Structure 1
Amino acid sequence: MELPVTYYDRAEYIETDTGNKVSRKSVICGSQNIILGGKTIIQTGCVIRGDLRRTGGGHTVVVAIGRFCLLSQGSIIRPPYKTYKGIFSYYPMKIGDHVTIGEGSIVQAATIGSYVTIGKNCVIGRFAIIKDCCCIEDNTIIPPNTVVPSFSIYDGSPGSYKDELPECTQELYEQKTKDYYSKFTPRD
């Protein structure tokens, strides 16, 4: 499947030294607590909450995003939280390489592995763990604390196992994210 060229307004995006393309119309809170691996695209209206972190010492990285990731328009990335022994705390979130998060999706997972596609309008509950090579279909709600096994397709509300992905999923998702990045071109 050949991806079309996606044009963007050069003035709307900031390009970093590592090739990340971040929309000026996205909301990045607590940028000092967010790490982007490189060649990641953060589109218009995307919200990343790096300001939601534990108080006191310890971890300063709140959201770590790998290489060749796509955070689509209107997606919201915020770290998971819970109250433990009467103390309310946020916990770090790690997103692997070659991850696509669809438009309007809300993600509060603890971990998202590499080579994962999350569809449009999904809700990934607090402390969910999505292993490598997974597909979350459009409009799926993954309940809090769910573990999505590798090479699985989840669908529905609440999300449940629907099918298995082929062994070539890693190569397919890697090629897809690299193609999208290479065809995400500024309009002259």
Structure 2
Amino acid sequence: MDPPIYYSTAEFIETDTGNKVSRRANISGPQNIILGGKTIIASGAIIRGDLKRAGPGHSVVISLGRYCLVSEGCIVRPPYKTYRGTFNYYPVKIGDHVHIGANTVVEAATIGNYVEIGKNCVIGKFTIIKDCARVADGTVVPPNTVVPALSSFAGSPGRFVGDLPESTQEVVEARTKQHYGRFQPMER
């Protein structure tokens, strides 16, 4: 069993659903960000829920599932494009049991469940990462890429490097639950 990861209760806000959000994270437009529960947003992470779609009152929603980890220095922002002369941002949906490594930039349209994204990655605009996929540290996934289920991507540009075992879902779920369980408040 790995040792606990202690955090200062003064630095993290814990919600009723068990989300732990660092006060040093930059959460813009929190009314447009949905956290599924038991999600950890680390210090220095930036989540941009303040970017608007064209038209009045069209907010872009960023949703994260349960047992997600957005590591230090990550940036999660909605993808954008100009369509018929109109600039638009689009929603971001991140599934359950997703670990996003430190200093990674995410502009994906969809990230499935049981996905591990390494450190220092760039996930290009409108990328779709299917369930049980892995993106290695330092990978640059080009815009509009579809990362298939049970596949591993690496490199710059990111490309398929191998299949993952059928047990990936159970392994990633156990890992994310264990990480959340290890993330403990410091004793005073």
| TM-score, length-scaled by structure 1 | 0.97
Instruction: Describe the superposition over 1:42-94 as per-residue Cα deviations: whole angstroms up to 9, x where unpaired.
Output: 00000000001213357545200000000000000000000000100000000
Partner AA of 2:121 in structure 1: C
How far apart, CA to CA, are the structure 2 residues paired with 1:13 and 1:106? 22
Partner AA of 2:44 in structure 1: G
SS in 2 for 1:28: strand
Alpha carbons 1:53, 1:62 under 8 Å: kept: no
Instruction: Describe the superposition over 1:87-124 as per-residue Cα deviations: whole angstroms up to 9, x where unpaired.
Output: 00000000000000000000000000000000000000
Alpha carbons 2:51, 2:60 under 8 Å: kept: no
SS in 1 for 2:179: helix
Residue 80 (structure 1) aligns with: 79
The alignment of Structure 1 onto Structure 2 pairs a total of residues equal to: 187
Structure 2: runs of 5 or more not aligned: none
Alpha carbons 1:35, 1:61 under 8 Å: kept: no
Partner AA of 2:127 in structure 1: A
Residue 176 (structure 1) aligns with: 175
Q: Which aligned runs of 4 or more in structure 1 are off by greater than 6 angstroms?
A: none
How far apart, CA to CA, are the structure 1 residues paired with 2:129 and 2:161? 15
How far apart, CA to CA, are the structure 2 residues paired with 1:3 and 1:151? 26
Partner AA of 2:70 in structure 1: L
Alpha carbons 1:52, 1:62 under 8 Å: kept: no
Q: Are 2:118 and 1:119 aligned? A: yes
SS in 1 for 2:53: coil
Residue 89 (structure 2) aligns with: 90
Compute the displacement of 1:5 (Å).
Answer: 1.3
Alignment of 1:139-158 (within 5 A): 139-158=138-157
How far apart, CA to CA, are the structure 1 residues paired with 2:111 and 2:173? 15
How far apart, CA to CA, are the structure 1 residues paired with 2:121 and 2:20? 23
Residue 20 (structure 1) aligns with: 19
